[in-house]
Amino acid sequence: MPNTAHYRDEAAKRLDPMVRDYYAGGAEDEETLRHNVTDWEAIGLIPRTFRDLSEIDLTTRLLGQRVTAPILTAPCSFNRLAHPDGELGVARAASEAGLIQVLSTASSTSLEEVAQSVPDGTRWFQLYCYRDRELTLSLVRRAEEAGYSALCLTVDVPVPGNRERDIHNGFHLPDDVRWANLDHVMGPEAAGSALSAYIKERWERDLSWATIGWLQAKTSLPLVIKGVMSAADAREAEQHGIGGIVVSNHGGRQLDGSISTCRALPAIGDAVGGGPMAVLVDGGIRRGSHVLKALALGADAVMIGRPYLWGLASDGQSGVTAVLSDFITELERAMALAGCRSIRECHQLEWMAQ
């Protein structure tokens, strides 16, 4: 059975080098990008034995929603750069697998079209906060009307990270790919080399808890904050009634030298794990065994990003389906080998740094 490395290698053959680097790259020397992967490999699990493992239950609940496994597709921008199926293919694959899709504001398909394509699917909408609050609010209202069940607010981009691969390649969107949710206000200049300048000009840099409170007051949707890396911020989020957090360093694309999400997770899990706020994690998760490690370290679920993009680039919607299936199969196997019959028992699994 192929694993994510197979899809990564296949995607590298098929993608334009500019797009390949856009998906694969991180900031500056890419230290955080590398550690996001290798630090999961440095966690050792301590299996339990003498248990009836005739049934393994991967199901869990996130923000009150039942999912078949604790895996979500992370909000990755411009999926149609990988394959014409784009976000629609991801939506269909995630829905068929019983998983949650988190759609990016920077989707290359509009949030309405994605929702209409799979009306029975469960999806969250990833949001950036704009200096123009009415623009922010318009996206919230569109997500509400389209049936999205949560908002996932990214908070770790006060300015764009120094992504040197993109600078070297002169990253730009081709004519047939657009920022579908915002092209009516952005204009063609935001699709090319001026994208970074556009972000600096329009995205909110004074993102405070007052801003979060304003957003909470404007919507009845639960709010998930993506980009939390410290236990102190996690505790504050819990105190402000946030529905969930995502332990994330933006895939190593923002502050190079930031610790990996794997290293950040245990302290956050100790601080707020097991409480009313969901704890998710992304970054460098490449195997079902990594998902199991994340659960043991304190996460309720994981988000995967690059792996499903590799599947998409390799074989469109079918490739995404294959990647998600592989993750679920590997997680079920890893749980059995570790002596875990349920997600609750995964949280109780002992581990140590190797």
Q: Among all residues, which ones are annotated catalytic?
A: 250
Q: How many CA atoms lie within 13 A of 55 on its CB side?
A: 2
Q: How many CA atoms lie within 13 A of 235 on its CB side?
A: 6
Rounded distance between C-alpha atoms, residue 259 and residue 252, angstroms: 9
Rounded distance between C-alpha atoms, residue 160 and residue 202, angstroms: 12
CA distances from 159 to 1, 75, 199 (A): 41, 18, 7
